[in-house]
Structure 1
């Protein structure tokens, strides 16, 4: 059979050394957006949940739970509008909240990002996770160096500012179960259902107690500590506190229970070697009692 360049008649493709592999722009954009979302999933921001839109790849839905401070107790929905020229754009994403919030950095529901990115968006330096960090910090540390009404009130009449902020918090809680955008990836919050949510919470607690989320428990430990910048050999024999969090169905506040670390038995050299090399201990429970009577 005659072979021609670019055909797969022999089971493989040949390409001319002068030709450059071209990848469609839409694929590059989708891969860049997927990488951004993966980064957020691997390194989540405390109190923030996001979900990419199904209908528009340049939109992320989000919700932030404020746990303390002037806006403590607030549950604010927002969306991130990503420039269509992403990831090579120099334009900043836009963060737009679902409701009006009386805040020094929020005008007409939109959070000002220019102060956090004074030189514009730099693809080689910035990420959407960084935008989420800015959203989080804006509710705990106020930059009031502007002449907005909220800034002036915060500087000159702090108690009045607190009163208005509290109204925003109460408003957010009153609409927490409202219908969201017509997008199957829109973040929906449901009232507490003990049959569903308590069961899910109990499963989370069980997972926290040692059920394997990775191929092996050793894989899980290595993954966790590598993200902390630690080698397994550095943490062998050390214990870390566990905690579980959920929301009080009445107060809608975060409830966290910390587990007291149990005293670990002194590690043998064999166990230390297993930990260092990621070797799981043998499970001998399936082996019958060899000392018992035979049939």
Structure 2
């Protein structure tokens, strides 16, 4: 009798689990369909209530930063009233909206009434995360890190100096293996640039992004990547532009890899030749001296 009761209870729990999994899957699909510039996330394979993430900050005081974070989703999601928790991996991240001790991003200002499943989404959380690195003009008494807020308002140069240190620290540890992701097949692993491994994939990303010649599927992309590993020639990039969504950073050299357009070097001033040579090989210096 007890055994039957146990089976009944388990069967009653299954629909709820399925609904949660479907809700989480729908959230991830929304992010994939409308990606947020500079942010990449990956749901954990071992814990469905955990998302791994990384944000590439493209400009501003924290421009050039590559900050890893985790999103901890309430177990009652999507019916939870508690907010998801966004916790950064970097220990020395100094920001008005990030707790010094827990490294948690304060979401209360953006979700004052708590989580409302009918109006909120995890994509919205990511939007708030992105904007937090471009706008921090908030009241000191409402900031989770009031010291950072005061410094930003009253001693901007000192704040820039500390922010730059945070950026440099983030880039120095970008290839580090994180313990929480080490045994997770969905963990986000960033690797140094390897032309044999990455060049073909990068070219295909630029080609897809150009949106002029290639309209292939993800399967097409994977198949051509496999072909390139076999030594087959990848078609040249066409078009004049590509979306800013694709960035390739080399933290060791503090550079960002960019697209190269052929230039007649004989028509270029000698002072520009070194820059063009770097561009020819796919890298361009990332200037951290003009942060504002």
Per-residue CA deviation, residues 247-293 of structure 1 (Å, 9 max, x unaligned), is 254433363679xxxxxxxxxxxxxxxxxxxxxxxxxxxxxxxxxxx
Q: 1:74 to 1:30 in 2, by over 3 A?
A: same
Per-residue CA deviation, residues 89-143 of structure 1 (Å, 9 max, x unaligned), is 1110000000131000000211000001111111000000000000000000114
Q: Is the 8 A contact 1:78 1:97 kept in 2?
A: yes
**Unaligned runs of at least 5 residues, structure 2:** 1-11, 219-238, 262-292
Q: Secondary structure at the match of 1:141?
A: coil
Q: Report the equivalent of 1:102.
A: 94
Higher-Rg structure is 1
Q: Report the equivalent of 2:114.
A: 120
1:178 is aligned, of 176, 185, 188, to 176
Per-residue CA deviation, residues 5-53 of structure 1 (Å, 9 max, x unaligned), is xxxxxxxxxxxxxxxx997100000000000000000000000000000
Q: 1:78 to 1:152 in 2, by over 3 A?
A: same
Write the distance in 2 (CA, Å) between the matches of 1:194 and 1:254. 12
Q: Secondary structure at the match of 1:95?
A: strand
- How high is the TM-score relative to the length of structure 1? 0.68
Deviation at 1:210, TM superposition (A): 1.9
Write the distance in 2 (CA, Å) between the matches of 1:87 and 1:248. 35
Q: 1:167 to 1:117 in 2, by over 3 A?
A: same
Q: Which has the higher helix share?
A: 2
Q: Report the equivalent of 2:254.
A: 251
Q: 1:64 to 1:22 in 2, by over 3 A?
A: closer
Q: 1:171 to 1:194 in 2, by over 3 A?
A: same
Runs of 4+ in 1 over 4 A off after TM superposition: none
Q: Report the equivalent of 2:271.
A: none
Write the distance in 1 (CA, Å) between the matches of 2:257 and 2:108. 32
How many residue pairs get matched?
Answer: 215
**Unaligned runs of at least 5 residues, structure 1:** 1-20, 216-239, 259-295
